[in-house]
């Protein structure tokens, strides 16, 4: 036999596609040609596969070899086809009877010594294989726990090409994936650790309940980071579909924690203000790595010291904020990843970052406006909840003697509020109040009675509030009503939302 075919999986964004790896061996000068849109890494596969085959004690077929990856139209990235190519070659040369690998998808990179190395993106690849009707996969041992998370598939691990050859030829044993870690991962920081900060906690709860983007503005020491890092702890845990999607993105980035579990807690990404545009939106050679915006998908993107980010980095957030997706454009084509996150930005109120009221701060009102103004345009315009934070005062510390409410209690209110909103907007495509366009709340049967919005309309008339700001207050008022179990917001809810929006504490 001089032809063989083996199955593998390629990725396009977060979606996997079955790939057929064909090898044809013909008489003629010994050469190897790869076809089917291979990228550079795939060309390097030729040398890796040759060395790995020879170093595994197999003979290299000295014939004219053509390796083809189908479908040809699908761009192929990375080194995950190595093991499949080696199998197809050995099958085509008659060295290996491939019947035991019928209907098996094979993933993995080869080292020159014949070791099978882990690859990124195994989770979404196995998901795709199962969707295509595949029930057995062979993956690098280091990826086996991750592959075994996917229901409906039998996973075997390999640590070397030699082991795979021994299995195919003599019925040798492949390796079982490790048992999932019985201990749940640590829960992460909890709101019980935040003393005082009534306004900050309330703002965070409203943001969580309505899915609103939030800005925390205050001097150093006001607890901005403490609050932001605890937002995931009061958001609903990821359901099965979301957990699979979020885990797949972390798998492609090579950042899925070991332990063989799906990520269930909404992720938090906190890029530093010196972060480059590619690290935010994604990029790199070979299989494009998801950036912070995609690793924060269905979770929280926290920009600390947001005004210090470079303008291009802030601009790069515009597309994911608008569409929930990000397109990574590179010379070899574009990759799209989901990037729908809740934005939390924190900033000092002024460039010198001295506590407000501190005599050392000599920033002029203009300098302060300019500083925060850097965030307008792409970011501040999308933020419903703005929380002014002040450093902890003595009164807070006294109050802190009574333990603060833990995240689990707040999360239960958030869950109930989200469920009320989901029922109200059922059939519209909106899940949370933050999704609902302003006009829908102003013009339809959801419009609030004039007596409840009187103060707000006066602010609109005097120019103290913009039309967008008006919509944001109303949107937040709905969330406050949902949190407090009322089916429509009243004047008090509008007043609280208005205070949060304008930054005056009650």
Map tokens 């690998």 to a residue.
101
Contact 280, 337 (CB under 8 A): no
> Omega into 422 within 30° of 0, i.e. cis?
no
Tell me how far, at minimum, the Cβ of 71 lies from Zn ion, in Å: 59
All residues at 6 or more sequence positions from 65 whose CB lies less than 8 Å from its CB, including other chains: 23, 24, 25, 30, 31, 32, 33, 89, 92
Q: How far apart are CA 482 and CA 423, in angstroms?
A: 11
**Nearer CB in complex with Zn ion: 355/378:** 355
Tell me how far, at minimum, the Cβ of 302 lies from Zn ion, in Å: 23
Q: How far apart are CA 343 and CA 383, in angstroms?
A: 8
Q: How far apart are CA 255 and CA 250, in angstroms?
A: 5
Nearest to 68 by CA among 25, 30, 132: 25
Contact 404, 192 (CB under 8 A): yes
Tell me how far, at minimum, the Cβ of 351 lies from Zn ion, in Å: 6
Contact 455, 494 (CB under 8 A): yes
Tell me how far, at minimum, the Cβ of 305 lies from Zn ion, in Å: 14
Helix count and strand count (H, E) for the chain: 19, 18
**Nearer CB in complex with Zn ion: 194/350:** 350
Interior/surface letters 477-487, b for 16+ CB within 10 angstroms, e for the rest:
bbbbbbbeeee
Residue 372 DSSP symbol: H
Tell me how far, at minimum, the Cβ of 357 lies from Zn ion, in Å: 10
**Nearer CB in complex with Zn ion: 136/370:** 370
Nearest to 337 by CA among 391, 295, 392, 387: 295
Q: How many residues does the chain have?
A: 506
Tell me how far, at minimum, the Cβ of 390 lies from Zn ion, in Å: 15
**Nearer CB in complex with Zn ion: 378/503:** 503
**Nearer CB in complex with Zn ion: 370/440:** 370
Which residue ranges make up the site for Zn ion (CB under 5 A)?
A: 350, 352, 361, 363
Contact 26, 64 (CB under 8 A): yes
| 268-269/385-388 β-pairing | unpaired
Contact 249, 299 (CB under 8 A): no
**Nearer CB in complex with Zn ion: 89/363:** 363
**Nearer CB in complex with Zn ion: 264/368:** 368
Tell me how far, at minimum, the Cβ of 364 lies from Zn ion, in Å: 9
**Nearer CB in complex with Zn ion: 12/361:** 361
SS3 of residue 105 by DSSP:
strand
Tell me how far, at minimum, the Cβ of 216 lies from Zn ion, in Å: 17
Tell me how far, at minimum, the Cβ of 221 lies from Zn ion, in Å: 14
SS3 assignment for 411-430: HHHHHHHHHHHHHHCCCCCC
**Nearer CB in complex with Zn ion: 166/352:** 352
**Nearer CB in complex with Zn ion: 341/371:** 371
Residue 167 φ/ψ, nearest 5 degrees: -65, -50
Tell me how far, at minimum, the Cβ of 196 lies from Zn ion, in Å: 23
């Amino acid at each position: 036999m001089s032809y063989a075919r083996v199955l593998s999986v390629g990725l396009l964004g977060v979606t996997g596609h079955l790939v057929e790896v064909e090898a044809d061996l013909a008489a003629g000068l010994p050469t190897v040609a790869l076809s089917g849109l291979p990228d550079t890494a795939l060309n390097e596969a030729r040398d890796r596969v040759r060395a790995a085959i020879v170093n595994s004690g197999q003979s290299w077929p000295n014939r004219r070899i053509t390796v083809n990856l189908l479908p040809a139209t699908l761009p192929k990235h990375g080194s995950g086809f190595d093991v499949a190519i080696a199998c197809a070659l050995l099958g085509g040369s008659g060295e290996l009877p491939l019947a035991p690998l019928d209907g098996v998808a094979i993933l993995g990179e080869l080292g020159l010594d014949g070791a099978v190395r882990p690859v990124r993106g195994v989770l979404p690849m196995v998901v795709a294989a199962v969707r295509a009707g595949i029930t057995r996969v062979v993956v690098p041992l280091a990826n086996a726990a991750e592959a075994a998370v996917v229901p409906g598939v039998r996973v075997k691990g390999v640590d070397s090409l030699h082991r795979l050859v021994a299995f195919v030829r003599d019925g040798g044993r492949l390796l079982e994936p490790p048992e999932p870690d019985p201990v749940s991962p640590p829960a992460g920081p909890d709101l019980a650790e935040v003393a005082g900060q009534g306004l900050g906690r309330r703002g965070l709860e409203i943001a969580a309940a309505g899915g609103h983007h939030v800005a925390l503005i205050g001097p150093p020491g006001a607890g901005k980071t403490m609050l932001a890092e605890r937002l995931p702890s009061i958001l609903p845990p990821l359901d099965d579909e979301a957990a699979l999607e979020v885990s797949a993105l972390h798998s492609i980035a090579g950042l899925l924690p070991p332990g063989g579990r799906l990520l269930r807690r909404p992720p938090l990404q906190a890029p530093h203000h010196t972060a480059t545009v590619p690290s935010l939106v994604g990029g790199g050679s070979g299989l494009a790595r998801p950036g912070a915006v995609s690793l924060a998908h269905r979770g929280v993107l926290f920009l600390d010291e947001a005004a210090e980010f470079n303008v291009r980095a802030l601009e790069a957030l515009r597309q994911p904020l608008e569409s929930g997706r990000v397109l990574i454009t590179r010379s070899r084509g574009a990759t799209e990843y989901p990037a729908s996150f809740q934005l939390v930005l924190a900033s000092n109120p002024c460039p010198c970052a001295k506590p407000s009221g501190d005599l050392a701060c000599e920033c002029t009102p203009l300098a302060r406006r300019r500083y925060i103004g850097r965030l307008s345009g792409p970011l501040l315009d999308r933020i419903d909840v703005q929380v002014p934070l002040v450093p902890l005062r003595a009164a807070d510390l006294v109050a802190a003697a009574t333990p603060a409410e833990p995240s689990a209690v707040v999360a239960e209110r958030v869950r109930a509020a989200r469920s009320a909103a989901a029922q109200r907007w059922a059939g519209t495509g909106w899940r949370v109040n933050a999704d609902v366009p302003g006009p829908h709340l102003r013009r339809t049967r959801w419009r609030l009675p004039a007596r409840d919005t009187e103060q707000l309309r006066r602010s609109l008339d005097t120019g103290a509030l913009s039309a967008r700001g008006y919509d944001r207050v109303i949107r937040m008022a709905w969330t406050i009503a949902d949190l407090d179990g009322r089916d429509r917001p009243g004047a008090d809810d509008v007043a609280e939302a208005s205070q949060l929006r304008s930054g005056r504490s009650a």
